[in-house]
Amino acid sequence: MGIFDKGIVGGKPRAFKKCPECYATLLVNVDRCFSCKAKVGPVDAKGYARRPTDWKSYFLCFLSWALFGLYVWWVFFKEKNG
């Protein structure tokens, strides 16, 4: 596995990519930045590493909206007995 394996963009091999968080120069085959310890993905056409999807944040956002909706339903729309 060489340093050019994941870095072919537009037919041109790339040896380096830039961290999207701290802009440090990284080898193409690394998965974590040595400087800021952020996860980095494959290189894009401009030479920057893609940010991996943060599924925890999406899940927490969905859960927060669902709980907020449940609260609004409970306060305003639930029928009161008695």
Per the domain annotation, does 58 fall within a domain?
Answer: yes
Per the domain annotation, does 1 fall within a domain?
Answer: no
CB 40 within 8 A of CB 32: yes
Instruction: Give residue 27's domain range.
Output: 8-77
Per the domain annotation, does 3 fall within a domain?
Answer: no
Number of domains into which the chain is organized: 1
Whole-angstrom distance, CA of residue 21 vs CA of residue 14: 20
Both structure tokens of 9: 């963009």
Is the model's pTM score more than 0.85?
Answer: no
Q: State pLDDT tens for residues 50-76.
A: 888 889 999 999 999 999 999 999 999
Percent of the residues in the chain that have a pLDDT greater than 90, as a whole number: 50
Looking from the CA of 30 toward its CB, the CA atoms found within 13 Å total 18
